[in-house]
């Protein structure tokens, strides 16, 4: 009635409210009517109909949304009401059940005071045993499904005891009246063997699992011992056999990519866990030694004692507590209630000697399988970074607190020695794989370099007139075009504010490349080779230690299972040896190409000469343009700026004995020496072919005596006015003509002899070098040059020769200065220009302009000197100095065989260099860096 009254009340309230607001509704309707009229006045009929359609569509949409909202809310209300009704019914049923229990408890009579007859007692006992026999399989399966294999084994043994008590295992059990009345027991007897095999199978499966706890392993072994009636030694054999099968199962899993790391780590975890659990389960503390609480042991024997009732804590039977609450439990005989499984033989502890020998045999037996399996797994690892990841993961696993807890003590107890599975099993396998990867990597670099060299030589041997030549090949054919053409990369972008000393050792500008005649083809080849070496080096460095891999002074040094960088020296040795072998292979290819070209070289215009010259430049440039080649040989793990510098010779340092050189640096110096030697051989082959052609052409030109050849080879001579003193003491002015330019040929008159003498002395100055310790007073002329000079001076009047010599020396000096840059690749460093520190007469005018001393980037700029302003005394002193400079000097030991002695000064700033040079000036050396 209350529910019915509520709507009525709400209806009445609604009527009252409607009456109260009726006036306002009428006013609102009037206002809407006025708005409608305004709409009709402002819009056409079509517009009004469109507005009507929009309004109706909006109304329908809102109506549908309202319908859906109400429907959803209604369903929620219905579900809530049903739930409440169901809860009420459940509560009523529960209360009824409780009341029924209460009524049954009060009406049930107490136990009879009189004891049952013996016949009834035996009947109830047999019935209770039959009931328990039927309950045992269910309890057993529950224990197996819960992973409690020892309780399952005890229940199985209890069932066997019950069958013996009821005489169901005898041969005449089929005729037993019990089976006749309860045929279901036949199934129980048949299923007993199946239950036993299931418990054994699951227990041995637990032994293969590395994640099982020590107690679970001990209980599984006890279950096996009880069911098979075996000894502790047999249990140890079962345990180790199960772990060997687990190892084989791990190794036979599919391996793809990152799964290899997980497999190797699982393998190491299984090995360490096996030793830990062998100690915890089988090891017993010798008599007279106090047990260590941090190292629990002997779980197998304590569990056996508790299971067989030898320990008072294990007494009380094998029945679960829920069975003891059953009404029939009190009728079970004492032999069933207090049943405890027993072993036929006593479980004697395993001796330490036997345990040590058995575990050592197991480790030896598993080692072969592990090495074979891991070696197969590592074949799928294609980089040293991947190997380093696996090694680091193993190190982290074995160094963790769980993996390294009392490891040394456990190994000492079990095996009487320290054990490192990484060093004994994995380290050599990883090194073998490293060697294979390193060899494959550098073999690939050697093969690709050989192909790149063959392709470059094939392009270079194309004649220069071919229209299909690329820009780089054209620059190889015409190196002068490369040297004297400007390009955006000639100077680095920061050349204005970054000095040479602040740049890295391998930061080279385009101008430095041109100064060394390193053409784009050489640069491209070296860049390609260096990029491959860089990739190989970075891969190797991922296996080596870095500066931040280990803190310098850790507060608490972490425990390390093994030194993961112990083989760093071996790895660097592998890198060095294979890198040197790669360079040797490349040099071998160069030698083959040079030997092939040597027998085919012809005139100086032969295209094969370009290939020979390219190989000469390439061998010379490899140590400088391939910085990662040096790092591979030296094994430098830091950046390029940390590359070690080669020590100076003891002679430069002024010491009596040479400095000690590390084997790595000696190896690198040997590689550089071989490259330089091969470069010199290629230069020698090229120079021999070019010189042979030039000599043949020069000989042919000298033998020409036609008028046209004389005019074609005529040179410029300078007319000089001189003053001479006659016999009477008066002064006479005369003019003489001297050569100032190198000719080719003309008849051997006095003028021609003077020209040839000028040419010979010019070549002697340009092409002859002297050693650092040779004094000017000890310079000796070459015997062949002296003979030719004497021969030419014999065709010149002695008086004229004495007059011409000072002026001839001045012309020679100026020509040497003008052509020193052009022929810089051939000249020695002492013939380029007179340095600021040269010894000159005090009367000679300075030819240098001093600048501000505060500006260190620019040195002293050279200025030209006019000979017309020199006094006679100055001319005489200059004659003496130039006469000494004009004499040929002995070749330097380290400079005579090396081309490009001048341009090497653009790149090397050796403060110990004694020889004067124009390019020691700071302004020009700074430009070329």
Mean pLDDT of 422-451: 92
User: For residues 536 and 571, is the Cβ–Cβ distance under 8 A?
Assistant: no
pLDDT of residue 676: 93
Which residue, 890, 688, 702, is CA-closest to 783?
Answer: 890
State the pLDDT confidence band at 586, using cuts at 50, 70 and 90: very high
User: How far is the C-alpha of 96 from the C-alpha of 346, rounded, in Å?
Assistant: 58
Q: Which alpha helices (H) appear in 503-567, and where do they start and end?
A: 510-515, 520-541
* Beta carbons within 8 Å of 445's beta carbon, 6+ residues apart: 529, 532, 533, 536, 582
User: How far is the C-alpha of 825 from the C-alpha of 903, rounded, in Å?
Assistant: 7
Three-state SS letters, 284-330: CCCCCCCCCCCCCCCHHHHHHHHHHCCCHHHCCCCCCHHHHCCCCHH
143-157, 432-446, 511-525, 853-867 — which is least confidently predicted?
Answer: 853-867
pLDDT of residue 604: 62
* Beta carbons within 8 Å of 679's beta carbon, 6+ residues apart: 616, 617, 618, 619, 620
Mean pLDDT of 182-211: 79
Average pLDDT, the chain: 74
Tell me the CA end-to-end span of the chain in Å, nearest whole number.
108
pLDDT of residue 504: 64
CA distances 536 to 445, 595, 667, 892, Å, are 9, 31, 19, 40
pLDDT of residue 652: 47
pLDDT of residue 434: 93
pLDDT of residue 445: 93
pLDDT of residue 578: 92
**% the chain with pLDDT above 70:** 68
User: How far is the C-alpha of 623 from the C-alpha of 18, rounded, in Å?
Assistant: 104
For 216, phi then psi, to 5°, come to -65, -40
Q: What is the pLDDT of residues 208-242, one digit of tens each?
A: 888 888 899 998 999 898 888 888 899 999 999 99
State the pLDDT confidence band at 530, using cuts at 50, 70 and 90: very high
pLDDT at residue 497 is higher than 60: yes
User: For residues 830 and 769, is the Cβ–Cβ distance under 8 A?
Assistant: yes
Mean pLDDT of 453-464: 80
Q: Which residue has the tokens 């000796």?
A: 780
* Selected residue with higher pLDDT from 625 and 512: 625
State the pLDDT confidence band at 605, using cuts at 50, 70 and 90: low
300-314, 691-705, 707-721, 893-907 — which is least confidently predicted?
Answer: 893-907
Q: What is the pLDDT of residues 156-181, one digit of tens each?
A: 888 777 777 776 666 555 556 666 66
700-704, 888-892, 894-898 — which is least confidently predicted?
Answer: 888-892
pLDDT of residue 448: 93
User: How far is the C-alpha of 639 from the C-alpha of 625, rounded, in Å?
Assistant: 16
Q: What is the pLDDT of residues 110-160, one digit of tens each?
A: 544 445 555 566 777 777 777 777 777 888 888 888 888 888 888 888 877
Which tokens belong to 187?
């199934």
pTM: predicted TM-score of the whole model, two decimal places: 0.63
pLDDT of residue 178: 65
42-46, 276-280, 293-297, 887-891 — which is least confidently predicted?
Answer: 887-891
User: How far is the C-alpha of 539 from the C-alpha of 168, rounded, in Å?
Assistant: 73
pLDDT of residue 174: 59
Mean pLDDT of 68-79: 79
State the pLDDT confidence band at 855, using cuts at 50, 70 and 90: very low
User: Of the spans 426-440, 624-638, 868-882, which averages the highest pLDDT?
Assistant: 426-440
Exposure of 114 by Cβ count < 10 A (0-12 exposed, 13-18 middle, 19+ buried)? exposed
pLDDT of residue 798: 86
Torsion sign, CA atoms 126, 128, 129, 131? positive
Which tokens belong to 726?
């006659």
Mean pLDDT of 405-434: 89
User: How far is the C-alpha of 319 from the C-alpha of 329, rounded, in Å?
Assistant: 10
Query: Three-state DSSP class for 742?
Result: coil
Give the number of other CB atoms < 10 A from CB of residue 262: 14
Strand runs labelled E in 742-837: none
State the pLDDT confidence band at 27, using cuts at 50, 70 and 90: low
User: For residues 509 and 929, is the Cβ–Cβ distance under 8 A?
Assistant: yes
For 756, phi then psi, to 5°, come to -65, -35
Which residue, 535, 686, 533, 690, is CA-closest to 620?
Answer: 686
Q: What is the DSSP string of 429-451?
A: HHHHHHHHHHHHHHHHHHHHHHH
Q: What is the pLDDT of residues 304-322, one digit of tens each?
A: 888 876 655 544 556 766 6
To which H or E segment does residue 124 belong?
Answer: helix 118-145
pLDDT at residue 544 is higher than 60: yes
pLDDT of residue 437: 93
User: For residues 708 and 700, is the Cβ–Cβ distance under 8 A?
Assistant: no
CA distances 174 to 162, 195, 607, 720, 744, Å, are 16, 21, 110, 149, 134
175-184, 595-604, 714-723 — which is least confidently predicted?
Answer: 175-184
Mean pLDDT of 287-292: 78
Mean pLDDT of 848-867: 44
User: Of the spans 333-337, 450-454, 856-860, which averages the highest pLDDT?
Assistant: 450-454
Which residue, 896, 826, 900, 824, is CA-closest to 617?
Answer: 900
């Amino acid at each position: 009635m209350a529910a019915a009254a509520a709507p009525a009340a709400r209806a009445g309230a609604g009527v009252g409210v409607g009456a109260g607001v009726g006036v306002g509704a009428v006013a609102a309707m009037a206002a809407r009517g006025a708005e409608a009229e305004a709409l009709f006045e402002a819009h056409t009929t079509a517009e009004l109909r469109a507005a009507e359609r929009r309004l109706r569509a909006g109304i329908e949409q809102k109506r549908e949304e309202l319908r859906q909202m109400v429907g959803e809310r209604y369903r929620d209300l219905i579900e809530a009401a049903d739930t409440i009704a169901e809860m009420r019914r459940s509560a009523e049923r529960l209360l009824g059940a409780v009341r029924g229990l209460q009524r049954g408890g009060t009406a049930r009579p107490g136990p009879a005071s009189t004891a049952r007859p013996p016949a009834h007692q035996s009947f109830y006992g047999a019935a209770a045993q039959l009931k328990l026999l039927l309950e045992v399989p269910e309890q057993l399966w529950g224990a197996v499904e819960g992973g409690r294999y020892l309780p399952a084994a005890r229940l199985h043994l209890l069932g066997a005891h019950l069958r013996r008590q009821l005489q169901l295992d005898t041969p005449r059990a089929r005729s037993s009246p019990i089976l006749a009345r309860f045929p279901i027991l036949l199934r129980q007897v048949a299923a007993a063997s199946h239950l036993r095999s299931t418990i054994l199978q699951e227990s041995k499966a637990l032994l293969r699992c590395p994640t099982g706890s020590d107690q679970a392993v001990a209980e599984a072994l006890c279950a096996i011992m009880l069911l098979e009636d075996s000894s502790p030694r047999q249990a140890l054999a079962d345990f180790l056999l199960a772990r060997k099968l687990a190892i084989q199962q791990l190794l036979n899993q599919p391996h793809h990519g990152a799964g290899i790391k997980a497999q190797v780590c699982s393998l190491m975890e299984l090995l360490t866990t096996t030793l830990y659990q062998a100690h915890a389960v089988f090891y017993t503390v010798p008599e007279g030694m106090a047990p260590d609480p941090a190292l629990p042991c002997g779980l197998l024997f304590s569990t056996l004692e508790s299971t067989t009732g030898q320990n008072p804590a294990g007494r009380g039977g094998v029945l679960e507590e829920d069975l003891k609450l059953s009404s029939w439990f009190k009728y079970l005989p004492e032999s069933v209630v207090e049943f405890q499984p027993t072993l036929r033989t006593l479980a004697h502890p395993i001796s330490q000697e036997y345990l040590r020998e058995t575990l050592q045999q197991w480790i030896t037996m598993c080692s072969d399988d592990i090495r074979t399996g891991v070696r197969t797994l590592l074949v799928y690892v294609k980089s040293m970074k991947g190997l380093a990841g696996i090694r680091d993961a193993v190190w982290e696993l074995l160094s963790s607190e769980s993996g390294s807890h009392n490891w040394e003590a456990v190994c000492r107890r079990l095996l009487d020695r320290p054990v490192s599975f990484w060093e004994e099993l994995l380290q050599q396998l990883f090194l073998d794989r490293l060697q294979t990867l390193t060899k494959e990597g550098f073999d690939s670099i050697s093969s690709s370099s050989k192909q790149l060299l063959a392709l470059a030589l094939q392009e270079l041997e194309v004649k220069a007139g071919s229209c299909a030549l690329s820009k780089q090949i054209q620059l190889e054919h015409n190196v002068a075009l490369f040297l004297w053409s400007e390009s955006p990369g000639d100077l680095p972008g920061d050349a204005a504010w970054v000095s040479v000393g602040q740049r890295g050792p391998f930061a080279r500008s385009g101008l430095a490349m041109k100064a060394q005649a390193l053409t784009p083809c050489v640069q491209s080849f070296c860049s390609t080779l260096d990029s491959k070496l860089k990739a190989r080096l970075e891969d190797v460095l991922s296996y080596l230690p870095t500066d931040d891999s280990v803190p310098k002074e850790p507060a608490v040094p972490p425990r390390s299972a093994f030194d993961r960088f112990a083989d760093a020296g071996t790895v660097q040795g592998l890198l060095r040896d294979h890198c040197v072998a790669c360079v040797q292979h490349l040099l071998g290819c160069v030698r083959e190409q040079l030997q092939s070209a040597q027998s085919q070289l012809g005139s100086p215009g032969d295209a094969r000469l370009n290939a020979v010259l390219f190989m000469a430049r390439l061998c010379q440039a490899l140590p400088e343009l391939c910085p990662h080649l040096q790092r591979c040989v030296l094994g430098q793990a830091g950046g390029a700026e940390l590359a070690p510098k080669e020590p100076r010779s003891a002679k430069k340092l002024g010491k009596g004995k040479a400095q000690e050189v590390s084997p790595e640096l000696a190896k690198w110096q040997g590689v550089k020496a071989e490259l330089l030697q091969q470069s010199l051989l290629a230069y020698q082959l090229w120079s021999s072919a070019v010189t042979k052609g030039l000599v043949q052409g020069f000989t042919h030109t000298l033998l020409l005596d036609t008028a046209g050849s004389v005019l074609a080879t005529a040179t410029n001579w300078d007319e000089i006015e001189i003053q001479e003193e006659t016999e009477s003491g008066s002064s006479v002015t005369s003019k003489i003509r001297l050569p100032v330019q190198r000719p080719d040929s003309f008849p051997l008159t006095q003028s021609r002899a003077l020209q040839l003498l000028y040419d010979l002395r010019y070549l002697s100055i340009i092409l002859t070098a002297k050693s650092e310790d040779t004094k000017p007073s000890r310079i000796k002329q070459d015997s062949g040059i002296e003979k030719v000079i004497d021969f030419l001076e014999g065709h010149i009047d002695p008086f004229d020769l004495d007059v011409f010599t000072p002026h001839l020396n001045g012309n020679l000096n100026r020509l040497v200065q003008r052509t020193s840059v052009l022929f810089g690749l051939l000249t020695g460093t002492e013939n380029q220009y007179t340095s600021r520190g040269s010894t000159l007469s005090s009367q000679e005018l300075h030819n240098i302009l001093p600048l501000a001393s505060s500006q260190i980037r620019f040195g002293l700029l050279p200025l030209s000197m006019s000979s017309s302003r020199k006094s006679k005394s100055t001319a005489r002193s200059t004659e003496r100095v130039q006469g000494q400079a004009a004499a040929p000097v002995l070749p330097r030991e380290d400079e005579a065989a090396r081309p490009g002695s001048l341009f090497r000064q653009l790149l090397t700033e050796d403060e110990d260099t004694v020889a004067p040079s124009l390019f020691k000036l700071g302004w020009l050396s700074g430009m070329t860096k």
